[in-house]
């Protein structure tokens, strides 16, 4: 998978609020937020 392709997938997950992105120096760190998935399950 290309970087551009992976970036698009990550962007969709961020927009859906399933993951959160933050910058630490020159790196992007992603954190999973399971709450939206739990709301869909309930």
**Is the distance from CB of 31 to CB of 20 less than 8 angstroms?**
yes
For 1-42, what is each residue's pLDDT tens digit? 899 999 999 999 999 889 999 999 999 999 998 887 777 776
**Can you give the pLDDT at residue 40?**
72
**Can you give the pLDDT at residue 20?**
94
Residue 2's CB: how many other CB atoms inside 10 A?
Answer: 7
């Amino acid at each position: 998978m290309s970087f551009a392709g992976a970036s698009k997938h990550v962007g969709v997950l961020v927009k859906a609020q399933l993951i959160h992105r933050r910058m630490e120096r020159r790196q992007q760190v992603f954190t999973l937020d399971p709450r939206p998935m739990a709301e869909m399950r309930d």
